[in-house]
Structure 1
């Protein structure tokens, strides 16, 4: 009985941590997710979750790059361009072929 209570406790804690982490999304990531929702790509909750994680991670990397390369604008511009390309690839990587085609047709790349 103690084991079941302990397992249930861990499960509830992990759910709480997941919910807390999903509430820590930045305004920029929220705006980008909203762009995808409004595009009517029929993204599933799992796809949206993966894309949200990707966008949040990319944002953290960009913030670190901005701080680390503050005095070197040429390298910063190059890193930001590479990061943007990676972001688009990761967003599309979470989509089906039909969703990618619609993403491209709507020229959503320009909005990220």
Structure 2
């Protein structure tokens, strides 16, 4: 049975899998391998985001810093995760935090693959 190369990504969700398939439609095998190499080094695993959100109770804003939301990370840091309410919300929405970040990384990875194939 054919196994998609996206299944090698740890903790991939059906939503992310579908998004990746759509984004890489029409890619050659070489382009797909290059994309996966770049993307896998940049993406955040949703399962790891749970750990980062829990650690956010001790280091407020950690999850926000790791997904590139520096302003929110600073706000969380100085307000102790908005009095821990924001940290709890992040814990509940950890998959959405990871998916939004990963969408940006898909775009960046696609741009890098396309720039590398200019002939």
What is the TM-score with the length of structure 1 in the denominator?
A: 0.38
What is the TM-score with the length of structure 2 in the denominator?
A: 0.37
Larger radius of gyration: 1
